Structure 1
């Protein structure tokens, strides 16, 4: 039998985490369920790992993620004794983008996408690490492109974004992935003047960010992180601070919605720090997310300070100044509602959500379903059952028109919250109505 060397890295991480072998095994099993894996590890498995046996390759990232979440810091595979062999010949940015898009546009790979794991240990490249020209776009493997091609990508991204806002990302995201693989990737390899090349890189970064956002909407959080990382790379190659900061902020939104407040705070601060010359609307866009992240980690003074900064910046913003995806008074009030809720001020949160919904433009149908649902959940929390039911009915008016994993989740939560109240006629009528809307939720 081959002699194995004890895994001192994993042993040290367990001590630092103040975990037993059983607790690590249970955490790995839980994270496995998040990514669609049915695992049944116990303390004996962890004991074998410490003795030098390596878990199978698919499980090693789960061990790393469990320890990262427990220690609230990134943990590497090398640190816990599971160093991976690095393949020769790194895949360049465009190749990686094509591989990612091809998987996403193929309906037969949905199970693969669903198994992607959101990682708090994800390494975010610093601006200095991604800034600069992309080597692969200088190879001239396609015909020459011009500004008309850049405008085509920008226009398509805007159209896909409008479809996403109105109908959700379930149908729009594969369309975006197909466009990325079949049109944008060849453009990125084409000959072009330097300004056109940077414009195309920036347009591709915007599209990557949007596609990642749509993956979040469907609950494909590991996939979303991969798109976001590609958006960061492309933005750096284009010297596009705006999309780089917007993407970091999007990653913070994803983290805060999943309850990873520390990571959300780190990402929101990084987004703000990377945009020293942001305009007022962009400043509000970034500060509002900082406020939400700070509220989630219990830093009330920081949350209120950043919220006040967002409000001042919004007041000073010129009407024509626009952050990607926009940031308007409806979004500002939504953030205020989230912050008040995180701080335990549920009534104030309901009031802010009411203002947000009043100001929300009609095209944002998915946002309306989600925000009405959140408002109803909070109305129920403070004992206003009939009002909550009325609010949920408004959400169900739009729900059949939206293909969104996050909206599906809110309707599932509504049904769970209503079950203890089915003796009430309003609650029972709402519950029965929700059952007629199909099996999506």
Structure 2
């Protein structure tokens, strides 16, 4: 007993409330009465909690609710120094995990620290299977949350769409703090609210896609470990809402992350899992969306036969799709050309890759295709133009990227600019290359140092 350590998390929260010990006890008792199970805690009990005595499991949610109401933000078990709840699925543990991740992103003073520890990508990450997560949608009500209906679900979906647009236009560093704040302040409370089962299922599905999107933004910042945490939470929520298509979409996103880092075998495993889980329910657009990534993954893994097979199957699937913009990623002819370019490049056909990337740009439509993608793919095109000896063409392509670079907050684009500077330095005797280099130094001084 003498070795018990003070609860620093709970003490920090208590200090922020400016309560006395008596006021803290009274607030806990008040919430217990609201929930039909009155308690009679005294200041001495609060003193014990702060000193490290662990409250009973059924009392901890009362303490968290009291703190959340007064501090006006969700307070999780972890933040209060309590052990995580034992139940899993779309339960308190899953929702609180989202809140913890989101609150890290919301706090500007902690983002550099988080980033330093969040870059690590794990190829051995435990990915929950569909059968492990499907249908586990346990009650997470806190007792006083408002009732929600489909309008709230529709608002979350609309806001997620807007955040996705901002990410495409300005990059992950710009959009992710907003996505995290929305997750913590709006979506997490909605997941805890009273709702009919169908509304709860729809809200959980919407939260799953938002978690995926926030992970996608974290990848765009280069925070790969953090992105994986968001992705896994998204898988749990997709299973909880029985949203099989979003589950597959997230697996595909994890494969994209692996490809970006050139973990070929991991990318293949994730892409194969995504497409195998998606069929046979998927339509041709979804199959193309999955198949293009599968082909890209096989190419990075140097599996020529399967890469060519999958890119052909993707072409066939896309030819059967009716509308230009589909539900899953708006996969279109420009995206197919990009995946074809990547397959060609990783299988050794650099000139063919240039041709396919040029086709990609001729097919891209600003209405559907992201501005960040224009810069990222443009830089790739320039790198490959230089690779086949076309210095002037490469400089012209890079020049367009440099002009737009200052308005994008993206690690992916940063990485391409850094590569551009490295590749152009040996050519500084050429006046065109030298002019490009000087423009890049002005546009990205920290990368050119």
TM-score by length of 1: 0.78
Q: Distance in 2 between matches of 1:301 and 1:134?
A: 42
Map of 2:117 onto structure 1: 115
Q: Distance in 2 between matches of 1:289 and 1:98?
A: 31
Map of 2:105 onto structure 1: 104
Mapping of residues 71-82 of structure 1, within 5 Å: none
Give how far 1:314 is off: 0.5
Map of 1:162 onto structure 2: 165
Q: Distance in 1 between matches of 2:407 and 2:240?
A: 38
Kindly report the root-mean-square deviation, in angstroms, between the aligned alpha carbons of the 2 structures. 1.4
The answer as to whether partners of 1:418 and 1:427 remain within 8 angstroms in 2 is yes
Map of 1:285 onto structure 2: 289
The answer as to whether partners of 2:325 and 2:331 remain within 8 angstroms in 1 is no
The answer as to whether partners of 1:94 and 1:136 remain within 8 angstroms in 2 is no
| 5+ long unaligned stretches in structure 2 | 1-82, 87-91
Map of 2:197 onto structure 1: 194
Q: Distance in 1 between matches of 2:231 and 2:403?
A: 32
Map of 1:434 onto structure 2: 440
Listed one character per residue, the Cα deviations across residues 149-206 of structure 1 (whole Å, up to 9, x for unaligned) are 0000000000010111111111110000000000000000111111111110111011
In structure 2, relative to structure 1, the CA distance for the partners of 1:440 and 1:206 (3 Å cut) is farther
Map of 1:385 onto structure 2: 391
Q: Distance in 2 between matches of 1:237 and 1:439?
A: 47
The answer as to whether partners of 1:235 and 1:243 remain within 8 angstroms in 2 is yes
Q: Specify the SS of the correspondent of 1:180.
A: helix
Q: Distance in 2 between matches of 1:397 and 1:241?
A: 41
Q: Distance in 2 between matches of 1:383 and 1:420?
A: 13
| 5+ long unaligned stretches in structure 1 | 1-86
Q: Distance in 1 between matches of 2:312 and 2:204?
A: 35
The answer as to whether partners of 1:365 and 1:398 remain within 8 angstroms in 2 is no
The counterpart of 1:304, out of the listed 296, 303, 308, is 308
Map of 2:60 onto structure 1: none
The counterpart of 1:403, out of the listed 409, 417, 427, is 409
The counterpart of 1:213, out of the listed 211, 216, 228, is 216
Q: Specify the SS of the correspondent of 2:140.
A: helix
Map of 2:277 onto structure 1: 274
Map of 1:234 onto structure 2: 237
The counterpart of 1:367, out of the listed 362, 368, 373, is 373
Q: Specify the SS of the correspondent of 1:423.
A: coil
Give how far 1:327 is off: 1.0
**Alignment of 1:425 onto 2:431:** yes
Listed one character per residue, the Cα deviations across residues 346-400 of structure 1 (whole Å, up to 9, x for unaligned) are 0000011011112222251110000010000011111111111011011122212
The answer as to whether partners of 1:408 and 1:440 remain within 8 angstroms in 2 is no
Give how far 1:288 is off: 0.5
Aligned residues: 355
Mapping of residues 234-273 of structure 1, within 5 Å: 234-273=237-276
